[in-house]
Amino acid sequence: MSGSSKTAGIGAGLRSVGAVAAPVAKTHIHSVRNPGVAFDASWLDDIHVNKSAALRRVASLGGRRTVKKAHQAAWLLRAISCMDLTTLKGDDTPARVRRLCAKAKSPVRPDVLQKLGLPPGELSVGAVCVYHAMVETAVEALKGSGIPVAAVSTGFPAGQSPHECKLREIELSVAAGASEIDIVISRANVLTGNWQALYNEVKDFRAACGDAHVKAILATGELGNLTNVAKASVVAMMAGADFIKTSTGMESENATLPVSLVMARMIREFHSRTGARVGFKPAGGISTAKDALSYLVLMKEELGNDWLNPEMFRFGASSLLGDIERQLEHYVTGRYSAANRHPIA
């Protein structure tokens, strides 16, 4: 089948409910906020995770839903629209951040988008995520694009700074133009079962963020077990987190499907009990298009289509985009491209 016949009409097809994965508008408006609820220790007493059952559930994902051809291309485009394109390195420079922002505004080569039936400017990532020192540079580079800037904060990645310093860091990032703040919790509160202290901490962070969205990083690889992950998820949501996020990307174990399943089910339960919708962000170690599809399938099956958009779902990604670009080019040409054919982030 020729490339032209393969892609004929795909622009319309990508917008179908079955494909699920149509790109979204470039202006990302945060209309969904979590007001939080009062701390309820009795809720936590009822949480127990069956690890074996969680592992069996995620092992079944690959066989339950197969995404191929045009639908796969559509889901991969949706994955791009849900990316927090990230650089969090000690050698970050303004030039690197500006280059990342240029990639955020045009994440796929125009010729590939054209073959997919999408007009220029149709697709962008969900946000650009940087350290506080680079927030102003990113805000300036993204001006007029509608793409938000997310700042990692509160002593990222270890979260061992004094509480007052964490709050001040949030305030400075918001003042610099960040509209999303990725905070890290104090893991000790989870490991010692001090849930009230964790609630108070996240609630303080939420207040310091003001109108900026709060994405609470749980650092799940350092929480000991899945039951702790579940309880930390619920406490962060009680305290008003707009998103819960798996990892900083710098732990020895980052995002995994079992952890993500547990967190998604806590989001579902929180929504059922309170009516509040909370977003989810897996981060760290998600580097291939195949990985991205697995997480999208998990979200669709556990939370439904309402969560398959940048307002409710994000990938923390620094290398994922490159592999997705190569898969999309293979779809439209039948050949895998060399990495140097794609502008780097």
Residues recognised as catalytic: 182, 245, 281
The CA distance from 316 to 287, in Å, is: 10
Place of tokens 């190569």: 326
Q: With contact defined as beta carbons under 8 Å apart, do 279 and 249 qualify?
A: no
Residue 310 to residue 280: CA distance in whole angstroms: 10
Backbone angles phi, psi at 106, to 5 degrees: -140, 75
**Core vs surface per residue 38-69: b (16+ CB within 10 A) or e:** ebeeebbeebebeeeebeebbeebeeeeebee
Name the strands in the sheet holding 243-245, side by side, starting at the edge strand that comes first in the sequence.
279-281, 243-245, 213-217, 180-184, 149-152, 127-130, 83-86, 315-317
> In sequence order, which ranges of the chain are alpha helices (DSSP H)?
3-7, 10-13, 41-45, 51-59, 61-64, 69-81, 94-105, 110-115, 135-141, 163-175, 187-191, 195-209, 226-238, 257-274, 289-302, 320-333
